[in-house]
Amino acid sequence: MFNLSELENDALVEIFNIGVGQAAASMSAIVHEEVTMSVPSISFMHRAAAAVLLGRGDHEHARICGVSQHYEGAFETEAILMFPEDKSLEIVRLMVGEAVPLQELTEMEQEAMCEIGNIILNSCVGTLANIFQHELQGSLPVYHVGTSDEILTASGSHSDTVVLMLHIDFILEKHQIHGYVAFILDISALHDLKDQINRYIARAMGQA
Amino acid sequence: MSGAQPLDEAPGDAAFRLGLLHGVLCAVNLGAIVLDAQRRIVLWNSWMVRHSGIEHAAAQGQDLFALYPALRGGRVESAVQQALHNHFPSLLSQSLNKAPFPLYAAGATAQQPGPRLQQAVEVTPIAIAGAAHHCLIQITDVSIAVAREKLLREQAMVLRSQTFSDGLTGIANRRHFDVTIEKEWRRAKRNGTALTLLMIDIDCFKAYNDHYGHQQGDQCLIEVAAALAGMLKRPCDMMARYGGEEFAMILPETDGEQARRVAEAIRLRTLELALPHAHSGVSGGLVSVSIGIATQAADVPVSIAELIGAADRALYCAKRGGRNRIAAEALD
């Protein structure tokens, strides 16, 4: 399995925390309330293992809501923000500030969820691209709902494809919600990522 | 649009293709604005003309944020920056961005513009060979979908309210209260408005029950609840049966002074019912209420628990002070 050294891991966690910090600031501006987000940890795992991690909930086939965007350029990745379905209801309704007594997200709420995903994913990938001094282009977000396996395979990857999983904490008005951002990366993108992290560390050390 | 194929198969020359593309952009049923790297409008389609009241010629070449200064510093501006500089697209949902562009139904006049169109907005970067990135803003009118969801939400709320009412008195139950106080508390915080909570308790109700029996006790609760609930005039006010003979009233956008007037009116209204109470110990043998008032000031939000605690303490004060009276606890 692909692995990072402790130093590389810490650098990447720091980069993503900058990214979600910006996303939280954008969302705070939208709702005029404090939104905080952090990435406590990241891990690399095979897609199948990632699906198991996400699926382990009350029951095996718990539904997950996902918002995905495709990025390409210096490297190519499918980025997916994922929350258990009940948590995505909670996030959207907290953000929109209006409770709808329905078990599923309505069409308008799905669009709001897409916007939330769009803000978070663009911030994460944008920070990564800026720090790596890379150019990337992104697609518009797409909303999915299904099992973790269905969502992670929506981009057509193999079960042994490596997924970079970010654990994210989203806090709004005393509600703390855990979710994930998955980056589906091929092997060349992974090695490129490692190289870029090391260049970033070298630059950071050089300036210190 | 960024995925459009070059029209290799089309007859004619570049001018024809350009004319065709222009015609298509003007025919599509959504707003299309293209900005150059300096955020100047280079394309403003006919849909935009129809719904903004701004002609092609007047829009062309203008800085979008000079044309619509209210968009500065908001989501639209950050989405445009994101597209032009990071080359990432953004989506602005109707739910999180209430109608950012001043666009109105076709045929609206400056005198009677009507409400703004409900909008879903997408901002996408456009790569042009040999030039800096441009960006395309697409605006879709989602007014119909919004109206449909409003109806859906209202009907769902009606269904929900049937499990949210108190079986005896028909007013909101404790569960409904918990949901509403949470909603109104957050709304007050967001909008920076005051919020008042009243705790209302029928005086010496145990003695009433002992003397008149439980059936009569229930009847008393029903009459008091109906009379007091009938005093609420605004849709956002709510009265709930909080427990036993205790009622709670949530009064959004109500400051301490207004709250005292409402509470005093409630106290008097209860006496007006003229329900005999042989063991009331006060007020000439009539059913009376004591009321505790807690008001959260506009700019000093406290927690829901503190608000309820303060109203409870105020109610206790009113009881101890001799009943059939109101008492307030300041929160700041």
Q: How many CA atoms lie within 13 A of B101 on its CB side?
A: 30
Q: What is the CATH number of the domain that holds B98?
A: 3.30.450.20
Give pLDDT tens digits for B137-187: 999 999 998 998 888 888 887 777 677 888 899 899 998 899 899 999 989
Of B245, B246, B306, B329, catalytic: B245
Most B CBs within 10 A among A96, A111, A123, A131, hence the mutation to make, goes to A111
Give the mean pLDDT of A88-92: 88
The C-alpha atoms of residue A207 and residue B136 are separated, in whole angstroms, by 39
The answer to whether residues B118 and B223 belong to one domain is no
Whether A7 has a pLDDT exceeding 60, the answer reads yes
- The band of A207, judged by pLDDT with boundaries at 50, 70 and 90, is low
Choosing among 3.40.30.10, 3.40.50.620, 3.40.1550.10, 3.40.50.300, the CATH entry for A6-207 is 3.40.1550.10
pLDDT, residue B2, reads 45
The answer to whether residues B184 and B274 belong to one domain is yes
Q: What is the CATH number of the domain that holds B218?
A: 3.30.70.270
Active-site residue, B77 included: no
A1–B contact, CB cutoff 8 A:
no
| Residue that is last in its domain, among B111, B146, B181 | B146
Domain extent, residue B232, equals 163-331
* Residue located via tokens 């006049």: B109
Instruction: Tell whether B82 is covered by a domain.
Output: yes
Whether the CB-CB separation of B89 and B103 falls below 8 Å is answered with no
Helix ranges (DSSP H) in chain B: 14-27, 46-52, 56-59, 64-67, 75-81, 143-162, 174-191, 205-212, 214-229, 256-272, 304-320
Nearest alpha carbon to residue A17 among A42, A34, A35: A42
Tokens of B21: 């593309």
Parallel/antiparallel/unpaired status of strands A175-185 and A142-146: unpaired
User: Who's near A93: CB < 8 A, 6+ residues apart?
Assistant: A99, A100, A109
The answer to whether residues B89 and B221 belong to one domain is no
Whether A188 has a pLDDT exceeding 90, the answer reads no
Q: Decide if A126 and B88 are in contact by the 8 Å CB cutoff.
A: yes
The string of DSSP letters for B1-22 reads: -TTPPP-TTSSS-HHHHHHHHH
Q: How many CA atoms lie within 13 A of B9 on its CB side?
A: 1
Tokens of B324: 């059939």
The answer to whether residues B129 and B71 belong to one domain is yes
Mean pLDDT of chain B: 90
Element (H, E) at A203: helix A187-207
Q: What is the model's pTM?
A: 0.71
Give pLDDT tens digits for B225-255: 999 999 998 989 999 999 899 999 999 999 9
Instruction: Classify residue A112 as exposed, middle or buried by CB count within 10 Å of its CB (0-12, 13-18, 19+).
Output: buried
Nearest alpha carbon to residue B254 among B263, B245, B246: B263
Instruction: Tell whether B177 is covered by a domain.
Output: yes
A174–B contact, CB cutoff 8 A:
no
Whether the CB-CB separation of B34 and B126 falls below 8 Å is answered with yes
Instruction: Tell whether B3 is covered by a domain.
Output: no
pLDDT tens-digit profile, chain B (332 residues)? 444 555 555 556 888 888 898 889 889 999 999 999 999 999 999 999 999 999 999 999 999 999 999 999 999 999 999 999 989 999 999 999 989 999 998 877 777 778 999 999 999 999 988 889 999 999 999 999 899 888 888 888 777 767 788 889 989 999 889 989 999 998 998 888 999 999 999 999 999 999 999 999 999 999 999 999 999 989 899 999 998 999 999 999 999 999 999 999 999 999 999 999 988 877 678 999 999 999 998 888 889 999 999 999 999 999 999 999 999 987 76
The answer to whether residues B233 and B126 belong to one domain is no
The total number of residues shown for chain A amounts to 208
- Number of compact structural domains in chain B: 2
* Residue located via tokens 């918002």: A67
Instruction: Tell whether B6 is covered by a domain.
Output: no
